[in-house]
Structure 1
Amino acid sequence: MVRHVVRITGLALGSLLIACGSGDDTPLMQEEPQALPRLVHLEPGAEVGQGAPEGWTSRVVRSVPRLVSGDLASLPDSAGATATRFRTVITAEVAPPEPRRRPARLVRVGVGNAVPVGNRELVVTRHGPPEAFDSLGVVDRVVLIAAEAKLHRGRLIARSPTFALFQTPTVLVVEGKHREVNLHYALIVEPTTGALTTFCWPDPASDSGPIDAVLRLAPELSFDAGLDARVTRRIGPAPVSWSFAMTSPPPGDRIPLGFGDATALTSHTDVDRLERMLRSLAEQPVNTRRPPRRAKR
């Protein structure tokens, strides 16, 4: 039972795991150093199903897990329900520009796990809210606790007043195997307008060389996160535990990288260079487009 629960926890994070311009050409003046964006965990009970929760300007990403491949025939209904119950949400708060005084900036990045409650979708933690936590079964609650621990492993590994690079662990199908990798979300704010652009990329496979492309995500992306289920243990012929992994990163416009870009992408200590490189990518035409998969309500 414990092994079964532990394996299920892999999916909870794997299903991961704006503004106005001044209309004035006068240069924006920054009168004092601005604070760097901070990472926060969304408050229990925050409503995320219809867009940004209260106090936030953008729901950057919302993933809804769906079982799509693997050993589905052997998967009990209860395990499948737990595997698709939790949704991962990333939000952002952008402070708009103040004409002639201060450029727009990224104030904070929020992360959380949510579950459907009636016709709403609420962030849930072990502390509530009661209407969400009470809807979870015993196994769901064990998964939730493990998912919270994994969520706390997420970090902002590079940041400036207009940029944040969020790194979070997830389980992804890589070369046909389930592997824990880091997903990176780069949030970039245009200083003069407050417009938000988000890029995403996973760690490269160990033997596939450097990162060769990034994904530019659609604004307010909500997508179905396909899950692959694999039996990891049997007692006799009967499967007793499973692993779950995202079949691919979030969908987006694929933007190829040159060698210099790939090098900058891994140089998290040179924040200015990394931010400049990503801003230049945001201005490039898209070579390969793939429409985002819209998550079902």
Structure 2
Amino acid sequence: MKKRTGLTIVYLLLITGSIAMIFPFVWMVSTSLKTAIDVYSLSIIPENPTFANYIAIFQGSPFLKWFINSLIIAVITTLSVAFFDTLVGYIIAKFHFIGKTIIFITILSTLMVPTEMLIIPWYLMSSELGWTDSYWGLLFPGLMTGFGVFLMRQFMESIPNDILDAARVDGMGEFKIFLKVAIPQVWPAISALCIFSFLSNWNAFLWPLIVSHSEEVFTLPVGLSFLASGEFNTKWELIMAGSTITALPLILVFFLLQRYIIKGIVLTGMK
């Protein structure tokens, strides 16, 4: 009886937490289907649902261009992080060379620096190289991450050296060992890293806002901030419509790769 009561309390807490997490998303979708007059009503179900807001953001702004820009930035940075962070993590974990510990500590120290403190050096670097208001300017801060190197180094440590030595005895080169032997062993960790990287770069706002000056290179978060700001009021129905479309790729990525996230968490716990 006590066990059943405890489970009931746990389920009630989980249901309450789920409702609290889902409700803002439901409200966002609901508001995106409301007219400008009904946007401040407290009803969740729109009285006069309309898709006019979705049509308006595509017709009245380069929303599709912003969507493509965000997709390009998120995909390229995710692929770069997945490859280079995994490669650096593998080298630090499985090779012995002078200064390895110092290099690793230096990489870890970057995690303690707030992003806001890096904005000025990033912008000065972009200005010197002529990368402002360009894809390169948006891309380069996210091409490698200290967190990714740390994560992959920890997982690479779990690969038995005997497996790598056996591959060397069979005549495989070091880079081929990395691709054919090491990566399959840590694929759940790579998948989790890809998801974190994609979400981070898809939702990035501060740096794209600073480095981009024209609508042609705006990403979705930056574009949305300019899209619905009127002179006297904020067009919440347009913001919510754009935000709903923005959330769709994130939901798709989660549903496609959620089993890798769970597997990565399980393996981390086993370690």
* TM-score (structure 2 length as normaliser): 0.27
Q: Which structure exhibits the higher relative contact order, with contacts defined as CA atoms closer than 8 Å and separated by 6 or more residues?
A: 2
Structure (1 or 2) with the greater strand fraction: 1
Structure (1 or 2) with the greater helix fraction: 2
